[in-house]
Chains A and B, each alone.
Chain A
Amino acid sequence: MSLRTKEGFYGYLFILPAMIIIGVFMLYPIVMTFWYSFTNYNGTEQNKFDMLFVPEDALQFHFGEFMEDLIPEDSQRLEKAFNAISLIEFDIGVKLSEEQKASFSNEYFKVGDLMNDFLTGSLAEQITVKQFLERYLTGKGRNLLSYQPVFTGFSNFTKAFKDPYFWTSLKNTLLFSAIVVPVQTLLALLLAVAANQKIWGQKFFKTTFFIPSVTSSAAISMIFSLIYTKPGILNQMFGIVGIPAVDWLNNPQTALGAVMAMNIWTTAGYFMVTYLAGLQQIPASILQAAQIDGASPSRIFWKIIVPLLKNQTIYIVTMGIISTLQVFDQIYMLIRNLRNVTLSYYIYKNAFEYGEMGYASALGVVLFILVFVVTYVFKRVYREERVVKEVKR
């Protein structure tokens, strides 16, 4: 093998495991999110196939007769009265799609076997719906073995359009991003500039500001839920200045704002470190030259420092946008009011509490597009800057 082909061989070999994982757990879910968003996929229906039931009970219901009254000779009579679809849909309780029903006829069900098992009393034990159906379905009947979502076109999107909670959660998401991103970026910049002087304790400040970002959002949420309680420390402090006590997290007027403040507190220090690293790369001679030329501190800041930090700003704002638009943990832990939730939380709620996975996927598509559009627009604004960077390279 030549070196070239060897490199190719090992190149593919080395990326293979990572590509399989990313393909299966990243690319496939992306494609499937789009597909599910056009279906009525329902998680609870899916789970029904794993539900335990006693077939004997279901069959007694189906025929309206008790086991004790039946003798083996009834087999023929019962076989005629038997209707597989109605057994599955009404006596077991699993919904079938129209397509599944249309493709089915009684010849795909081993009715004889079932009657035999039923009348000899061998169906008295609990089994799952899937196990039961696997035993008696043959041929095309095996279509009934799993839950099949139905393609419903754009109905999830029209549903979202009419769903006031969707609009509320979308508005909250945008509001969250629109407030948190600028505030945390400016705060990070302010702190970095403050720390970037020949001052005592620079390392201490850097270390301290970073701590909130290594703590889990679940833990931070719990700490703040204590601080935000009505008799809590925040209200006590505000009480000193005469501000009346507010139940920050239970009041729909203040809940989202309280979570935003907490979010800013968590990330500002982290991004401050990014800015500080950038500031330390600016040669002191540039700033001295500007000072000698008589530029005022605010002029130096806006005309020299801020433009030189453009790379850091792009990174911080992009990361900020991506993470705030999908904020979930803190909302899950702290918000109890559906009027204050974000899109991510509403996706979770629909998928895992209401079982509406098709609808949740449609909301996922909206989130997906939202993140891409906002990031794209932001990058577009800075495009000129990027061109300059490319040329330099």
Chain B
Amino acid sequence: MRTKYNYRKTLMYVVLIVYALLSLFPFIWSLLISFTPMTYTDDRGIERGVDIMEWPPEMDLFEFPPHFFGAPATGENYEEVFHIAPYGRWILNTLIYASMVTLANLFFDGLAGYAFARLRFRGRDLIFSLLMATMMVPFPAIIVPTYLLISDMGLINTFMGLILPKVSMVFGIFLMRQFFLNLPIEIEEAATIDGASIPRRAFSVMFPMARPAFITLGIYTFLNTWNDFMWPLIVTTKKEMFTLTIGLNFFKGSFYTVWPYMMAATMLMTAPMIILYFSSQKYFLEVNVSSGVKG
């Protein structure tokens, strides 16, 4: 019995380790390539090309700088990304897009979520269930009218056009409502007895208590908007208005892709989200679990 148990446990370990390697490998691989120069000059002063497809790669990790594909690692691909494309501008665009959408969602979804959870008004549950039903609507299905609407407003290639359709999300309202429902009602009752008005109750009593929910919603929205693809693809046609996800296509050559540049660009847009994830893992898992169990 004992040995059988150990055997099972070992098997589980193998599964976990293999999958962990599988999860990490693509990132490590592209990170290495992003530091690999296209060409380098060897000891004898001869210029050599670097083959990033070479297998097994000629690694030398104990030298400084380390060698990943037989050539000394360099940060020049990262510099080059800013020279051949308006990459700095794309970072700025993405930051503006993601932070504006996030701030707007915190405010509007927070208000609506509170109202749906705690205020009684006619038609509340009907409106809420109607909203829930729209969560299933696939965005590509309604992309044409959404585009035409923004286009008629003259908002193509503007931040307003990017941001406006996203300033309130049904999922955000759902998340906030869920949180407010779980807060003890006694605190609010006490505030009411003390003569606090409804806006006061919401803004000074409930919202401060909902801080974790706001952080969760904020991080979720920021991540999703940062990674958003289809909407920026359609609303931005000028290079200056691209977000990072759309800009990535710029590095894709039609016949030949310079992989070290491409991977440097990829790492630059991925790193902030991974850092955000590591610094606030709790909140990432919160979205996952709260929508999973209560949904």
Q: List chain A positions with a Cβ less than 8 A from chain B.
A: 4, 6-8, 10-12, 14-15, 17-19, 21-22, 24-30, 32-33, 36, 41, 46, 190-191, 193-195, 197, 199, 201, 204-205, 207-212, 214-220, 222-227, 229, 231-233, 236, 239, 265, 269-270, 273-274, 277-278, 297, 311-312, 315-316, 322, 325-326, 328-329, 332-333, 343-344, 347-348, 351-352, 357, 360-361, 364-365, 367-368, 371-372, 375
With contact pairs A214-B223, A231-B53, A278-B292 given, residues A328 and B23 touching in the complex (Cβ less than 8 Å): no
Contact A14 B245 (CB under 8 A): no
Across-interface contacts of A17 in B (CB, < 8 A): 108, 111-112, 168
Contact B165 A21 (CB under 8 A): yes
Can you report 12 residue pairs joining A to B where beta carbons are below 8 Å apart?
A15-B115, A18-B108, A18-B173, A22-B168, A29-B146, A30-B137, A32-B145, A205-B20, A215-B273, A277-B289, A348-B140, A364-B140
Contact A19 B149 (CB under 8 A): no
Q: Please list the 9 inter-chain residue pairs (A to B) with the smallest Cβ-Cβ separation, ordered nearest first.
A: A11-B121, A216-B227, A32-B145, A14-B115, A11-B119, A344-B140, A364-B141, A326-B138, A29-B145
**How close is A278's CB to chain B, nearest CB, in angstroms?**
7
**How close is A163's CB to chain B, nearest CB, in angstroms?**
17
Residues of chain B from 212 to 258 with CB closer than 8 A to chain A in the complex: 223, 226-227, 229-230, 233-234, 244-246, 248-249, 251-252, 257
Across-interface contacts of B119 in A (CB, < 8 A): 7-8, 10-11, 14
Residues of chain B from 19 to 53 with CB closer than 8 A to chain A in the complex: 19-20, 22-24, 26-27, 29-30, 33, 53
Q: Mark B107-141, 1 if CB is under 8 A from A, else 0.
A: 01101101110011110100100010010111111
Asked if B164 is an interface residue, CB under 8 A from chain A, the answer is: yes
Cross-interface CB contact of B30 among A29, A226, A229, A316, cutoff 8 Å: A226
Across-interface contacts of B136 in A (CB, < 8 A): 322, 371-372, 375
Cross-interface CB contact of B277 among A19, A211, A315, cutoff 8 Å: A211
With contact pairs A21-B108, A194-B15 given, residues A33 and B20 touching in the complex (Cβ less than 8 Å): no
Determine the distance from Cα of A17 to Cα of B204 in the docked complex, in whole angstroms.
20
Determine the distance from Cα of A144 to Cα of B252 in the docked complex, in whole angstroms.
42
Apart from A18-B173, A222-B251, A224-B26: 14 A-B pairs, beta carbons within 8 A: A14-B112, A18-B111, A25-B146, A26-B170, A33-B142, A36-B144, A208-B20, A212-B23, A214-B277, A216-B245, A216-B270, A218-B229, A229-B53, A233-B55
Stretch with Cβ within 8 A of A (4 or more), from B5-13, B58-66, B76-84: B5-13
Across-interface contacts of A208 in B (CB, < 8 A): 20, 23-24
Q: Which residue of A lies closest to B53 (CB)?
A: A231
Dominant SS among interface residues on chain B? helix
Across-interface contacts of A25 in B (CB, < 8 A): 146, 149, 164-165
Asked if B183 is an interface residue, CB under 8 A from chain A, the answer is: no
Asked if B295 is an interface residue, CB under 8 A from chain A, the answer is: yes
Q: Which residue of B lies closest to A5 (CB)?
A: B121
Across-interface contacts of B198 in A (CB, < 8 A): 6-7, 10
Determine the distance from Cα of A265 to Cα of B244 in the docked complex, in whole angstroms.
22
Determine the distance from Cα of A114 to Cα of B198 in the docked complex, in whole angstroms.
62
Across-interface contacts of B142 in A (CB, < 8 A): 26, 29-30, 32-33, 364, 368
Contact B227 A24 (CB under 8 A): no
Asked if B284 is an interface residue, CB under 8 A from chain A, the answer is: yes
**How close is B227's CB to chain A, nearest CB, in angstroms?**
3
Contact A18 B112 (CB under 8 A): yes
Q: Which residue of B lies closest to A209 (CB)?
A: B23
Contact A216 B229 (CB under 8 A): yes
Asked if B205 is an interface residue, CB under 8 A from chain A, the answer is: no
Contact A347 B108 (CB under 8 A): no
Contact A211 B292 (CB under 8 A): no
Cross-interface CB contact of A328 among B26, B137, B140, B289, cutoff 8 Å: B140
Asked if B179 is an interface residue, CB under 8 A from chain A, the answer is: no
Contact A194 B16 (CB under 8 A): yes
Q: List chain B positions with a Cβ less than 8 A from chain A.
A: 8-9, 12-13, 15-16, 19-20, 22-24, 26-27, 29-30, 33, 53, 55, 108-109, 111-112, 114-116, 119-122, 124, 127, 131, 134, 136-149, 151, 164-165, 167-168, 170, 173, 197-199, 202, 223, 226-227, 229-230, 233-234, 244-246, 248-249, 251-252, 257, 259, 262-263, 266, 269-270, 273-274, 276-278, 281, 284-285, 288-289, 291-293, 295
Q: Which residue of A lies closest to B5 (CB)?
A: A297
Dominant SS among interface residues on chain A? helix
Determine the distance from Cα of A231 to Cα of B140 in the docked complex, in whole angstroms.
34
Contact A223 B292 (CB under 8 A): no
Q: Which residue of B lies closest to A272 (CB)?
A: B19
Cross-interface CB contact of A226 among B124, B233, B259, cutoff 8 Å: B259
Q: Which residue of B lies closest to A362 (CB)?
A: B144
Contact B145 A361 (CB under 8 A): yes
Contact A328 B229 (CB under 8 A): yes
Contact A26 B134 (CB under 8 A): yes
**How close is B118's CB to chain A, nearest CB, in angstroms?**
9
**How close is A210's CB to chain B, nearest CB, in angstroms?**
7
Determine the distance from Cα of A194 to Cα of B277 in the docked complex, in whole angstroms.
23
Contact B111 A15 (CB under 8 A): yes
Contact A315 B284 (CB under 8 A): no
Across-interface contacts of A223 in B (CB, < 8 A): 26-27, 29-30, 263, 266
Q: Which residue of B lies closest to A372 (CB)?
A: B136
Q: Which residue of B lies closest to A207 (CB)?
A: B281
Across-interface contacts of A212 in B (CB, < 8 A): 23
Across-interface contacts of B281 in A (CB, < 8 A): 207, 210
Determine the distance from Cα of A29 to Cα of B16 in the docked complex, in whole angstroms.
44
**How close is A73's CB to chain B, nearest CB, in angstroms?**
43
Determine the distance from Cα of A347 to Cα of B20 in the docked complex, in whole angstroms.
36
Contact A7 B227 (CB under 8 A): no
With contact pairs A197-B9, A214-B273, A277-B293 given, residues A332 and B233 touching in the complex (Cβ less than 8 Å): yes
Contact B270 A329 (CB under 8 A): no
Determine the distance from Cα of A265 to Cα of B23 in the docked complex, in whole angstroms.
7
Contact B13 A199 (CB under 8 A): yes
Contact B138 A344 (CB under 8 A): yes
Determine the distance from Cα of A194 to Cα of B12 in the docked complex, in whole angstroms.
5
Determine the distance from Cα of A205 to Cα of B197 in the docked complex, in whole angstroms.
48
With contact pairs A18-B168, A223-B26, A351-B147 given, residues A209 and B19 touching in the complex (Cβ less than 8 Å): yes
